Chain A
């Protein structure tokens, strides 16, 4: 992180030492509390099903077994299909969304753009008042005809007022003189945006892009609303939701993997699917967390 507020106490009195000790204890325990549930899922996924039935879920597998993973991967088409869908939606959605958010945010802070306040309000107002779920559902499903179409998952997540406002305050720090001098040199607004502004706003783009990408990766709600159960490949989180909530789903996947139903490790399979669906994000996470923190920090300082 950045420089510390207090590099070194001038003297360490009793109260300060106590506060520090309490801090270590509290933060340490809270961190453990954040970590242990993940270990619990991981541990359970490697536990033999009969042990779960006998002793319940446990942090550490009493009897180690990879059977659940074997079944999950026995017929890998389903989960690979889900991966492809999720990755596709995430990549396309993030690139398109990021471009649109950046363009809008940049345009809305240009001082020479006269309508900027009106349009800002037009966008901001949607956070205050909305039509609600029912008309939204009818619109997407009936009037746009996007039921069972991945577009129904892709489109609604492209932009959000929050991200546009974030982009607006980011690009405000780029001096307007740059835009003006480029204009004098004969560049059009769009060229200025793609050639000058986008490269300069790279840190902002990284942060906002991560927000959009995380949203798509964890997308589950619109998928549940608009993609029906008989669709072949559902996004990862919805696939996982199916495994967690309905035994039918597991029956179907066990039928296609030739394992008799009574031998299907129901509980450990739920956990194994969760591990498979979450794994990549957790592995990437330490590398991208830095950008998140940077972005949030800049946002907080600007207020």
Chain B
């Protein structure tokens, strides 16, 4: 009985849209509605493949996510280990509080901060470059720098939050093991290499698995707020599945094309999760999700 609200909730907001994926196979027409529009089969997909859009979107989305996941987790582990080495309590507390701060603010503010630093006319970066006598850079029209900016922003926002998970895991480490290693003369690096890192491995694998499931789900808010909605110059390196779907709906009113990309995303993402889980199950059965 207690589950009824939840069942209803997910039925309406998650399951009810699923039949709507039929949109991907029609030429959507507002007056006819989803199920009466003309059926066109795989035409929408054929178009996506032929224009090269699908390949670019897949490549961008997956590359960003792999960078987020791998660099993100490595930096989080790195920060957590360093935090654990520090002795001054006040320093740890203050720095943790500050590093956690970016996680709390909305993505709109993050976009504004990026603008504050990168804007051609007023940005802090160009201010510094000018005072050094260098030429200002036109960040917002140079597609090559955006992968770096987007990844750095992501790391900026999530590292403090993520490192807490690893820090907590290190806390669970048996202090006797660590003390014994020190009596045996292990220095900090050896302790980290042979005790702390192996200890963090299961946490790392679980987090990795969880995030791999979303490898085809892009970070819409981040890219939309950093890059802006209509900066066509930057599409080659910043366009991801979500931004494409969004654009095909609200700029081009091509609902069917958006749905086709979504369906591709869901099916492909589903396969990725199942495969990843299967691989982990083979390697270490305890760590798989289901």
Residues of B close to A14: CB separation below 8 A: 187
Q: Which residues of chain A are near B156, meaning CB under 8 Å? A: 33-34, 37
Return the contact of A126 from the options B10, B112, B178, B263 (Cβ within 8 A): B10
Give the complex CA separation of A289 and B95 in angstroms.
13
**A115-151, CB under 8 A of B: which get 1 and which 0?**
1000100111011111111111111000010000000
If A19-B188, A132-B262, A132-B265 touch, whether A40 touches B124 (CB-CB below 8 Å) is yes
Contact B164 A281 (CB under 8 A): no
Are the CB atoms of A40 and B117 closer together than 8 Å?
Answer: yes
Contact B173 A5 (CB under 8 A): yes
Residues of A within 8 A of B41 (CB): none
Query: In the complex, which residue of chain A has the Cβ closest to the Cβ of B9?
Result: A159
User: Interface residues of B: mostly helix, strand, loop or mixed?
Assistant: helix
With A9-B182, A100-B9 known as contacts, the answer to whether A220 contacts B206 (CB < 8 A) is no
Residues of B within 8 A of A75 (CB): none
Most buried by A among B13, B111, B126, B190: B13
Q: Say which residue of B130, B202, B228 sits within 8 Å of A303 (CB atoms).
A: B202
**Cβ 8 A contact of B93, one of A1, A19, A52, A55:** A1
Say whether B258 contacts A132, CB under 8 Å. yes
Does B64 count as interface, using CB distance less than 8 angstroms? no
Q: Does B3 contact A (CB under 8 A)?
A: yes
Other-chain contact of B249, A137, A281, A299 (Cβ < 8 Å): A137
Q: Which of A18, A164, A285 contacts B6 (CB 8 A)?
A: A164
CB distance from B93 to the nearest CB of A (A): 7
CB-contacts of B114-138 with A (<8 A): 115-117, 119, 121-124, 126-127, 130
Residue A221 lies at the interface, judged by CB distance under 8 Å to chain B: yes
Q: Please encode chain A, from 31 to 45, with 1 for each CB lying within 8 Å of some chain B CB and 0 for all others.
A: 101110110110010
Q: Is the CB of B23 within 8 A of A135?
A: yes
**Contact across chains for A281 and B104 when beta carbons are under 8 A apart:** yes
The reply to whether B123 and A56 form a contact with Cβ atoms under 8 Å apart is yes
User: Which residue of the partner chain A has the closest CB to B202?
Assistant: A303
A237 contact from B108, B213, B249, Cβ within 8 A: B108
User: Are the CB atoms of A126 and B14 closer together than 8 Å?
Assistant: yes
In angstroms, Cα B160 to Cα A134, docked, is 34
| Contact between chains at B6 and A133 (CB < 8 Å) | no
Please name all residues of chain A whose beta carbon is closer than 8 Å to the beta carbon of B263 when the two chains form the complex.
132
> How far, in angstroms, from A56 to B124 measured CA to CA in the complex?
7
Known: A136-B13, A156-B13. A131 touches B83 (CB 8 A): no
Q: Is A177 an interface residue (CB 8 A)?
A: no
Please report the C-alpha to C-alpha distance between residue A127 and residue B269 in the assembled complex, in whole angstroms: 10
Binary interface encoding of chain A residues 8-38 relative to chain B, with 1 for a CB under 8 A from any of its CBs, else 0: 0111011110111011101110110111011
The interface residues of chain A lying within 8 Å CB-to-CB of B283 are: none
Among listed B54-62, B84-92, B143-151, B232-240, interface-contacting one: B84-92
Is there an interface contact between B124 and A19, defined as CB atoms closer than 8 Å? no
The segment from A76-84, A178-186, A270-278 that touches chain B is A270-278
Could you show 25 A-B contacts with beta carbons less than 8 Å apart?
Answer: A11-B182, A15-B189, A27-B99, A34-B99, A34-B160, A37-B102, A37-B113, A40-B124, A53-B122, A57-B116, A100-B6, A123-B10, A126-B10, A128-B213, A128-B270, A128-B273, A131-B14, A132-B258, A133-B249, A135-B262, A158-B9, A193-B2, A244-B108, A278-B105, A301-B168
Name B residues whose Cβ lies closer than 8 Å to a Cβ of A.
1-3, 5-7, 9-10, 12-21, 23, 34, 79, 82-87, 91-102, 104-109, 111-113, 115-117, 119, 121-124, 126-127, 130, 156, 159-161, 164-173, 175, 178-179, 182-183, 187-190, 192, 202-203, 206, 213, 220-221, 225, 228-229, 242, 245-246, 249, 255, 258-259, 261-263, 265-266, 269-270, 273, 290
